[in-house]
Each structure stands twice: as structure tokens, then as C-alpha cells.
Chain A
Amino acid sequence: MTNKILYVLGALAMVLLARDIYVIARLPGEVEQGAIFKIIFFHVPVAITAMTAAAVALVASILFLVTRNFRYDALAVSVTEVGLAFLAANLVTGSIWGRVIWGIWWTWDARLTSALVCWLLYASYLMLRKAIDEPTQRATFAAVWSIFSFIDVPIVIFSIKWWRTQHPQPVFWGGGSFPADWGRIFAWNMLAVVLVGVVMTMVRLRQEDAQRELDSLRRTAHAI
């Protein structure tokens, strides 16, 4: 049953993404920035997906600490890994845009720095997991660290924003204007990107389940 849902969602995500790329490619270039502006159709959705992933990881981590159910731990690690990949995509697309518009790959502006710090925070979560062998200890420590990291995100964003700002102001909330049909395309691509994220998380979750089953079989074999 879960497999069927996974395949359907996966196919849907691929079709939707292909259709969106086709539509976006045929759009005219933006007045000032030209074709590179279209990167926003991916840059912003991957960022929103990554932030959602961090929030899901927090909830899953808290639920693990409360219930001690390993499914929540599996969800936490799956969604964190996928979120980290999406945040990396956000950093890379942003960097490409910056190279074309600013002429530099990287600048220590508020949002870039915050995104990089968040990436490092969640990378350290995965490294901590890798270093612990005992499943219960790994799940507990990782859950604690996920909570620690999530609390840090708003403080990082606030403090670095205070430090400096030169990122273009968000297009949707104040400043700039986005034609209505572009907004619709953006919404469709947002859906496609989120779907890709959900499918990746589900695949990863299935791996975690299989791994847990393997571990328990191995333990049984040792006991015999």
C-alpha cells in the first residue's frame, strides 16, 4: 500500500516538475535581470521546503523523546537529510544567481550567512548520528541535538540580520512585483518541489525501516 502511494506520488512529482520546467523555460526573461531571474522558481521553493523539513524534524524529535517510538527517529533523520539536500540546492542556486547579478559567487550577507550556518548546524546533526552505534543512544542524542539546532535557527537569523543586509528584498512580501500568472507558475512549482521532497523522505524512511528490521534480525541471529 505505502509502495503504491510512493510510486504514484513519485510519478506525479516527475510529471509536474517536467511540465513546470517546460513552462518556465518558455517564459520571457525578466525586464532587468533577464533569464537568470527564473532561478527564483526553484531557489525559493527549495528554501521553503528545507525550512518545513527542519520544523518536521523538530516535531519528530520531540515525539521520539516523549514516546520512544523509533519510527519518529527514522522520520527525523530522513527529513533532516532531505532538508539538508534542499538547503544545499538553495545555496547553490543562490550562488549561481549571485555570480550573474552581483558578479561574485558568495558574499557574507545576512541571508547567505544564515543559510550556511543552518546547513552546518544540521550537518553536525548527521555527523553526530554517524558517530554513535547504539540505536537508542543515537536516537536520543540526535533528538536532543535537533531541538538545540532548531532553537538556534531564529537566533542565528536575527543576529546575522543585525550584522548586515544586502540580500534583495523578498519579491512576494513587500517590495517588487510579480505578475499574476508568474505567481501561479511559482505556486505550481512550489507544489512540485514539495512533492519531490516528500517522495525523497518516504524513500529514505523505507530504508530506515529496512535497516531497523535488519538490525533486529541480526540480533536474533546472534542470540541463537
Chain B
Amino acid sequence: MGFFRQVFVIMAKDLRAEIRTKEAINASLAFALVILLLFSFAFENSDESMKDNLGGLLWIVFAFAGTLVLNRSFARELPNDCLDALIAAPISGAALFLGKALANYVLVLGVELVSLPVFGIFYDVRWARQFPELLLVLLLGTWGLTVIGTMSSALTVNIRLREVMLPMLTYPILVPALLGAMQLTSPLVAGTPIGPETVTWLKMLIGFDAIYTAVSLFLVETVLVS
């Protein structure tokens, strides 16, 4: 089996397992809804300055809800020692990591694409006006979230306080990616396309994704073996 075929098999396996149990995705969606509700108490919706910060709000929802999916990624393999079997399987750690990351990517993107219209309805946002560019930001920001989250999931799977540790590890390191995604999303949901001022954020996001994908693929073997 070639590398990409291995990646695909792992991804398909994870997605199949998730679609059959729906444990992570249901929890994640419900959690996204709850945070969207809580924000309505925290901020006055009629406030005009609120409109400039909607991107930030949206990404906090994505980051929080995404963690629930990512937490399950490696933890799902613990019963019946599936993780040991996966590590012993004749595939590289990089293929296992990439497969899992892609499965998480699809799931987190799914949660985001469902919460987006709900967000639009609750906060009276016409988010679809710049949809292609918004989708690009979603794709890039979510990949950053997924790579860091999947790596953290691999690091924390066997340790005490797993659920507590994952957000503690993920959010500080994600600061640049989340900041960039927020700065890009706020004008986009307000209907302003990406201009010369915001394009730097796009470049930064691409750089963040590329660097951490490369470093993760390089280091994941060390993590899985020990």
C-alpha cells in the first residue's frame, strides 16, 4: 500500500467509526449551540460595535467545539488496545497521523458548516455574501486547529487528566492561527472582501499551517513509538 492509500484507509476508518457512533460529532454540535446561546447573554446584540467582533465570536465557538472532536481522535482507540494495533500495523506514524488529522478535519469542518447558518440566524449576520473567501479562511484556520489538535490528542491519549490537558496545550499554541482567522472572518461576515490590509493574515495562516504540518509529520513517529 502506498503512503496516500494508507492515509485514506485510516481516514475512512475513523470517519466510519464516527458516523456509526456519532459520539464526538453530536457532543460537538450541541456544545457549539450552547456557546452560541451563552454569547447572547454576554454581548448585547443590538450593539453596533458587536458587528466588528463577530469573527472572533465565531472562532471561539469553532475552537471550543472542535476540541471535543479532537479529544476523541486518539482516545477512541483506547478500548480493546486498538492504538497498540494501529502502531504495530505496517504503516508509518506520519500516515496514521495524517489519516486521523484528515478525518478530524472533515468532522470539525462539518460542525462549523452547520453552526455557521445557526450563527447567522441568531445574530442576524448575512455571512454568505463573501462565501468563497470565507470558506477559504475556514479551510485554512480549521486545518491549523486540526493539526495542532491531533498532535495534542496523540500526546495526551495515555496521560492523566487527558480532557483537561488538551485545551491547555492547544489554545496557547493556536493563538496566531486563531487571531489571524478572527481578523479575516470579521470583515468577511460583514461583507467586506479580503483586501491588501487583511491579506497578510491569510499569508500568516498559510505559513502556520505549512510549518506545523511539516513539523508534526516529522515528529509524530517519535511520539507514537514511545
Contact = CB atoms under 8 A, between A and B. Distances in A.
A154 to B, nearest CB: 10
Residue picked from B168, B200, B201, B211, most chain A C-beta under 10 Å? B168
Nearest to A137: B226
Interface stretch (A16-24, A78-86, A116-124): A116-124
Interface string A83-104: 0000000000000000000000
B223 A140 contact: yes
A50 to B, nearest CB: 16
A158 B180 CA distance: 11
B210 to A, nearest CB: 11
B184 to A, nearest CB: 12
Contacts of A163: 179, 183
Contact of B169 (A132, A133, A145): A145
A160 B201 CA distance: 11
B35 interface: no
A155 B208 contact: yes
Contacts of B38: none
A151 B212 CA distance: 9
B135 interface: no
A16 to B, nearest CB: 34
A124 B172 contact: yes
Contacts of A144: 155, 219, 222-223
Nearest to B225: A140
A141 B200 contact: no
A128 interface: yes
A117 B177 CA distance: 13
B132 interface: no
A109 B222 CA distance: 38
Contacts of B1: none
Interface of B: 148, 151, 155-156, 158-161, 165, 168-169, 172-173, 175-176, 179-180, 183, 200-201, 204, 207-208, 211-212, 215, 219, 222-223, 226
10 contacts: A117-B172, A132-B160, A140-B222, A141-B226, A145-B155, A149-B173, A152-B175, A155-B204, A159-B179, A163-B179
Given A151-B215, A158-B204, 10 more contacts: A123-B172, A128-B156, A128-B165, A132-B160, A133-B160, A144-B222, A148-B151, A155-B208, A162-B200, A163-B183
